[in-house]
Amino acid sequence: MYQILTKYFNKLFFKQWIIGLSNCDIKEIIRSKTFNQDIKWYPQTPLDHFYADPFLLKTGDGKLNILFEDFGLEDFYGNISVQTLDNEFNISNQKILLDTRSHLSYPFIFEENARIYVFPEASRSGKLSCYVYDYLNHSLNFVQEIINLPLLDSTILKHKDKYWLFGTLKGDSSSLELHIFISDNLLGPYIPHPENPVKQSSNGTRPAGNIVEVNGTYYRPSQNCENKYGESITINKINVLNELSFNEEPYMLITINKENQRKHKVHTIHTINALDDIIAVDGMKWIFSPFDQWKKYLRDRRYLKQYSKVHLKDSSIEPVIFD
C-alpha cells in the first residue's frame, strides 16, 4: 500500500533538473569523504527546460562559464549552452553554443596547448566528435570525429603520456558497462582496452564528471543508478590503470543532504565537476505542480510512441526523459 501511495504522490510533483554551484575544494571533499556543501541552485522558468551536466570553464577574459545541457521538453532534445557568471555567481549572459537538432549533453572539457576542446555526448548520431571553444564569439567550432561509437558521458584522462577515454555505450548496458579507449593523442585514433567492458555494475559505472587526482591517486565520479537513474554519485578510487588492466573500488557516496532536500526540494544528483575552489553539480528539483507533471507525462508518452520502433531496447532514453 505504501508503495502505491508513494507512486501516486510522486505524480503530483514536476521533476526538473537544475544546476548548482558551491565554493569548496573537491580535493578536500575527497580527503574527508564528506559532502555537505551549501549549494546555490539556479531554478529556471518556465518549467519546459531542464539544465544538467554542468562543466566549468574560465576563459581568457577571466570570467567563469558553465557549459551544460539545455533540454527542451517541446523539442525533446538537448543542446549545449553556456552561462557566463559574475563574481557573485549571478548569471550575466546565456547563449546556445551548439544545436544539431539532435540530442546533445555532457559537454566534457579538456584544455591543452592553450586550446579549449569540448566533447559533447551525441550518442544518437552514433559517434563522438570534438569541438574547439571560441570564447570571444561564444561558439563551438567542429574539429573532427573522434570515435564512431554511440558513447555516453565520454570523459578523458591524460595519464602516463596517454589519453584514456571512459564511457558507456548506448543500449541496454548504458548504465551497466564501462568501456575504456586509449590513444597517444587527444584527438585519436583510440583503441579499445583489452578488458572491455572493464566494469559491470549499475552503481559506479557510468561517468559523472571529471576524474580528480589527489596525492597521486585518481578518483572517478560515476553515477549510482542502482535504484533509479541519477539517484546519487559514487566516487571510485582507481587502483590500476594501464594498457592491460583496470581496477577501481567504491570510495565514497555523494548525495543531496537533508537540508538541501528540505530547503530547496532537490532530491537527487548525477554530475559533479570542479574548477579551482568551485564545484558545479546538477540536481532534480521537485515542484508541486500536478498540471505540469501531467503535461510532461503526456509529452513523454507521445515521444516514446513516436520513437518506440527505433528506441524500443534503448535504455539510454531514460536520461533523456529525466523522469
Give pLDDT tens digits for 6-47: 666 677 888 899 999 999 999 999 999 999 988 999 977 678
- Residue 129 near residue 122 (C-beta atoms within 8 A): yes
pLDDT at 322 over 50: no
pTM of the model: 0.91
Mean pLDDT of 89-102: 93
Q: Is 297 left (phi over 0), alpha (psi -120 to 50) or beta?
A: alpha
Mean pLDDT of 133-154: 94
pLDDT in tens, 214-273: 999 999 999 999 988 889 999 999 999 999 999 999 999 999 888 888 888 999 999 999
What b/e readout covers 19-51, taking b as 16+ CB neighbours within 10 angstroms?
A: bbbbebebeebbeeeebebebebbebeebbbbb
Strand partners, 157: 164
pLDDT in tens, 170-211: 988 888 999 999 999 999 999 999 999 999 999 999 999 999
Q: pLDDT tier at 1 (50, 70, 90 boundaries)? A: low
Note the pLDDT of residue 19: 96
Q: What angle do CA 245, 248, 253 make, to 5 degrees?
A: 165
Q: What angle do CA 112, 101, 300 make, to 5 degrees?
A: 115
Grid cell in block for residue 42: 539556479
Dihedral pair phi/psi, residue 18, rounded to 5°: -135, 165
Grid cell in block for residue 262: 528540505
Other Cβ atoms closer than 10 A to 264 = 18
For residues 57 and 211, give the distance between their C-alpha atoms in angstroms, rounded to a whole number: 15
Note the pLDDT of residue 191: 98
For residues 51 and 79, give the distance between their C-alpha atoms in angstroms, rounded to a whole number: 10
- Percent over 70 (pLDDT), the chain: 89
214, with CB counted inside 10 A (0-12, 13-18, 19+), is: middle
Q: pLDDT tier at 60 (50, 70, 90 boundaries)? A: confident
Q: Which amino acid is at 239?
A: N
Structural domains present in the chain? 2-321 (2.115.10)
237 Cβ neighbours under 8 A, 6+ residues apart: 217, 218, 219, 248, 249, 250, 251
